[in-house]
Amino acid sequence: MKLLVTVKRVIDYNVQIRVKADGSGVEKDNVKMSMNPPDENAVEEALRIKEAGKADEIIILSIGNDKAQETIRTALAMGADRGIHIKTENDLEPLAISKIISKVAEEEKPSIILMGKQAIDDDCNQTGQMTSALLNWPQATFASKIEIAGQNAIVTREIDEGLERIKVSIPFVASCDLRLNEPRYASLPNIMKAKKKPIDTKDASSLGINIEPRIEQIKVEEPPVRQKGIMVSDVAELVQKLKHEAKVI
């Protein structure tokens, strides 16, 4: 069984986001970048499935500029087998990403596609669902537990009401929740081995699919600064302000 895991290079979650002076986007130059955290859970789950003897190969897929290979190497150092880099200088929308993943899946024929539930930079939470629809595969989103049983999988999902267990047939697409597992750290020997593992690079324009943006981004602005609160001395003053200034009572 072959596993395809998608990873995205994003601004590190510890970095304070800054908007560009011209409002064209967020500042990425000289900013620490790392693998999208939920994608780390997807890589870890793929490794556990393989270590359990239920998968033979783990392929890492990333889409972006040349620096996306750094993220692929991180996953390879964790224990994945090989990488695929779809090169593009543009920021792609979820639908375009899903089209590319589907195209790669048609060529590689994986049994399971694992990805993070969402990226922390745009928070779209759309790619897994769209990929499932394009491939006509079952989907298991927000997975907090995955159990492989023959040609099926039992997936525990995080939902508003609690936990939901569903049964999906293989092949399927799963988006991974942060509670799925605890991602491992890459050891120094594995980091050195990862440098020799193959990464197949293809240009996005060579795939023969339309990845042109459908949404025009006009301007990016920082959220308004939160106003300072008002201190009151007693309940009577609080009631007066709620009544005459806020006019909520």
Read off the pLDDT of each residue in 82-86 and give the average, rounded to a whole number. Answer: 95
CA distance 100 to 96: 6
Domain at 2-221: CATH architecture: 3-Layer(aba) Sandwich (3.40)
Read off the pLDDT of each residue in 211-239 and give the average, rounded to a whole number. Answer: 86
Domain layout of the chain by residue ranges: 2-221
CA distance 123 to 150: 33
Band (132; pLDDT cuts 50, 70, 90): very high
Band (63; pLDDT cuts 50, 70, 90): very high
Count CB-CB contacts under 10 A for residue 127.
27
pLDDT at 82: 94
Please name which of 124, 60, 116, 51 lies closest in space to residue 92, comparing C-alpha atoms.
Answer: 124
Tell me: pLDDT of 26 over 90: no
Tell me: pLDDT of 187 over 90: no
Tell me: pLDDT of 248 over 80: no
pLDDT at 191: 92
Q: What is the pTM for the complete model shown?
A: 0.84
Read off the pLDDT of each residue in 84-113 and give the average, rounded to a whole number. Answer: 93
